[in-house]
Amino acid sequence: MNAKVAFELSERIPHLGLRMKEHCNRAMVYATRMKKMGLKVIYPGLEEHPQHQLLKSLANKDYGFGGLLALDMVTEDRANKLMNQLQNVTQFGFMAVSLGYYETLMSCSGSSTSSEMNEEEKEVAGISPGLIRMSVGYVGTLDQKWAQFEKAMSRMPK
């Protein structure tokens, strides 16, 4: 590893725990609020998730259920419209296939990271055409970011 990269990593490690707690906390809050909005959200922290009890038995209580969630917008068109609103109108996050960053990152899995799978394989895996995979960021206040999400949703066609 080059010295510059090693130094940068050493500067970030001490507060990694704080960042991860916020990352996971926000994912739980967003998943709960999205569910209350009537959206189909998949998150292991929600009690109806099929592996909620398993993860609950394994997870570190301080870090919750992780910082990744999935939001099913049913169609690829609706997923892309929402991600466009979230990125270009409200600045909630960024469209990207990588999911490791301090900003919220999102991708439409069926047409990006899982595009090599055929339709039957996607169905078995639970990947609908409109599935948005989201890595929840921790910049800005939680309420500010949630307001950006709500604004994007309010601009979505019914």
Whether 130 shows a pLDDT value over 70: the answer reads: yes
Mean confidence (pLDDT) of the chain: 90
Q: Is the distance from CB of 110 to CB of 127 less than 8 angstroms?
A: yes
Confidence of residue 115 (pLDDT cuts 50, 70, 90): low
Query: Exposed/middle/buried for 141, CB within 10 Å: 0-12, 13-18, 19+?
Result: exposed
Write down the pTM of the prediction.
0.87
Residue 120: enclosing H or E segment and its boundaries? helix 119-125
Instruction: Report the 3 state secondary structure along 20-62.
Output: HHHHHHHHHHHHHHHHHCCCEEECCCCCCCCCHHHHHHHCCCC
pLDDT band at 17 (very low <50, low <70, confident <90, very high): confident
Distance CA 146, CA 158 (A): 20
